[in-house]
Amino acid sequence: MTKLTDLTIAGARDGLNNSDFSATELAEAYIQAIDAGGDLNAYITATPDVALDRARASDDRRAKDAPLGAMDGIPIAMKDLFCTEGVLTTAGSHILDGFVPPYESTVSANLRSAGAVMLGKTNLDEFAMGSANITSYFGPVKNPWKAQSGPLVGKDLVPGGSSGGSAAAVAGGLAMAATGTDTGGSIRQPASFCGIVGLKPTYGRCSRWGVVAFASSLDQAGPMTRTVQDAAIMLGAMAGHDPKDSTSAPVAVPDFEAALNGDVKGLTIGVPKEYKMDAMDPEIQALWDQGIAWLQAAGCTIKEVSLPHTKYALAAYYIVAPAEASANLARYDGVRYGLRVAGDSLDDMYMNTRGEGFGDEVQRRILIGTYALSSGYYDAYYIKAQKVRTLIANDFKTAFEKVDAILTPTAPSAAFALGERQDDPLAMYLNDVFTVPTSLAGLPGISLPAGLNGAGLPLGLQVIGRAFDEATVLNVAGALETAACFHALPGTDKGAAS
Amino acid sequence: MSLDKDTVKNIAYLARIRVADDKLEPMAGELSSIMDWIEQLQELDTEGVEPMASPVAVDLPQRKDAVTDGNCQDAVLKNAPDSEDSFFAVPKVVE
């Protein structure tokens, strides 16, 4: 039998239904794996007691033939950006020191109602700001994958970010699935670096209530899983209209799993010419070409599309997101929760608390945002960036008049070494060049593992869809997954076993 | 360099973040390189383009003006670094 910690959600669901094992046994297997896998630093807080309580409750429901949720007994990890009642919530920051929320985020509550078993809270870049999970106050996360050849052999690699702990946990066998959040690529890029599936739903599909805010017009929660089918199952359990989030969309949640039929015949897939970068890594280009060929073979029509404002997306994002962050993070004032560093006056206390509580990258972004919103610069930077955002959204609108989905690489490279690009914020921002435009437009995007590079590290392809058409996104991703036949697993320390 | 040391000091004050004096210069360098790179947005003609504040076009929903929550003072204060007699406590603000 497959190891319990290698199972997919769908596989575990079958096993639980057939009484091959109990939810408690599943939870225990993961609790042991988390204990043994501490080196990855994937979790900030493990919650074995919560997990065992919920697993036993799930087993009781099964024993009593009570109604079961879509994820009953499935052990998952929660990105430590979701507020969880009675469980430490840090956002990867020193400034939230000791914060134990008295309430539960809507998404984590939805998952709990669906029967999911929370294993713990995963590490992340501080306030979800980063692309390598190196800005966490709780230390960097290691990617469970190791290079098999080339200059990266023997080095610890980054898992991507900001949902790096979630991605490393799912890839490294420390959670069957995990929640992530994506503001400019924070689900998709780490999924690509760790060889798993990561889905950023349409803005408004999942409630943001109770999720520590970074950039409110961009933040969106989504599933990080081992297969496309698992992503469909988990998204269904997470999504839904929530009156507590005024931007949550009052639209019905389709049965994503049922809609996943593998039939993509007749779909038109767009390939944006502006995504072919001048200095594109040839292995990334080859994978992209392979993806195009797979979809053609599956009966899709391929069409070149133009997204002419792509090259301005990152610059617009690095005004819009920091501006919103500077406003959102104003709440950390040392008064109501978290860290307080004493000062002679109230102002002094604010400045000391925020100077000590926020890490370098978060400070940089708050300062950029404050500058962009300050009088005299507001129109030149903030309004300008919002106008460029309109142009980018319009690019996608025009493209989606001709195509049903768009195929691109997820990230411009595979995972890089811990410590690399650390001192150059701009080089780090380029990680999200393929994911940021979708975020600005609020569209759904998925990353799925499609192959290994020459060094034996996973590479992801991204499928982008129309607003609220996650069903097509999942279906196209499913067709690619079938063709790619990606079954490689990272063997921590042992290297990849294919 | 588009942002000098004094500008950074002023923004840091606006954002209520204490940046040590010896870190102002390197911070000014980093922020300047980011802002210089963002300057490329000025190449685009955005005359007449509507600024996009949110990807959702729907009107903000309204609910009945009614009390839906409350009576949870202890829960509200539980995470406060300092509280007194059911209030958040801060350093003295009036002389």
Predicted complex ipTM? 0.96
CB–CB of B82 and A247 under 8 A? no
Q: How far is A131 from chain B (nearest CA, A)?
A: 16
Mean per-residue pLDDT, A31-49: 97
pLDDT digits (tens, 9 = 90+) for A59-70: 999 999 999 999
Q: How far is A353 from chain B (nearest CA, A)?
A: 8
pLDDT digits (tens, 9 = 90+) for B59-69: 788 889 999 88
Determine the residue of chain B that is closest to A380 in CA distance: B42
pLDDT of residue A52: 98
Mean per-residue pLDDT, A184-213: 98
Determine the residue of chain B that is closest to A349 in CA distance: B91
- Taking the Cβ of residue A427 and every Cβ of chain B, the question of whether any pair is shorter than 8 Å is answered with no
CB–CB of A371 and B3 under 8 A? yes
Nearest CB to B56 within list A203, A337, A366: A203
Q: How far is B61 from chain A (nearest CA, A)?
A: 6
Q: How far is B86 from chain A (nearest CA, A)?
A: 12
pLDDT of residue A66: 97
In chain A, pLDDT over 90 holds for what percent of residues?
93
Confidence of residue A496 (pLDDT cuts 50, 70, 90): very low
Chain A CB contacts of B71 below 8 Å: none
In chain A, pLDDT over 70 holds for what percent of residues?
98
- Taking the Cβ of residue A377 and every Cβ of chain B, the question of whether any pair is shorter than 8 Å is answered with no
Determine the residue of chain A that is closest to B72 in CA distance: A102
Regarding pTM above 0.80, the answer is yes
Nearest CB to A336 within list B54, B61, B79: B79
Residue ranges covered by each domain of chain A: 9-264+445-484
pLDDT digits (tens, 9 = 90+) for A256-311: 999 999 899 999 999 999 999 888 899 999 999 999 999 999 999 999 999 999 99
Which CATH class for the A9-264+445-484 domain? alpha beta
pLDDT of residue A40: 97
CB–CB of B51 and A247 under 8 A? no
CB–CB of B61 and A99 under 8 A? no
Chain A CB contacts of B75 below 8 Å: 102
pLDDT digits (tens, 9 = 90+) for A432-474: 999 999 999 999 999 999 999 999 999 999 999 999 999 999 9
Across-strand partners of A301? Answer: A268
pLDDT of residue A245: 94
pLDDT of residue B1: 60
- Taking the Cβ of residue A241 and every Cβ of chain B, the question of whether any pair is shorter than 8 Å is answered with no
Is a pLDDT exceeding 50 seen at residue A497? Answer: no
pLDDT of residue A492: 47
Chain A, residues 26-85, CB within 8 A of chain B, namely none
Mean pLDDT over each residue of chain A, to the nearest integer? 96
Q: How far is A91 from chain B (nearest CA, A)?
A: 15
- Taking the Cβ of residue A334 and every Cβ of chain B, the question of whether any pair is shorter than 8 Å is answered with yes
Chain B CB contacts of A366 below 8 Å: 15, 17
Is a pLDDT exceeding 80 seen at residue A493? Answer: no
Positions of A annotated as catalytic residues are 79, 162, 186
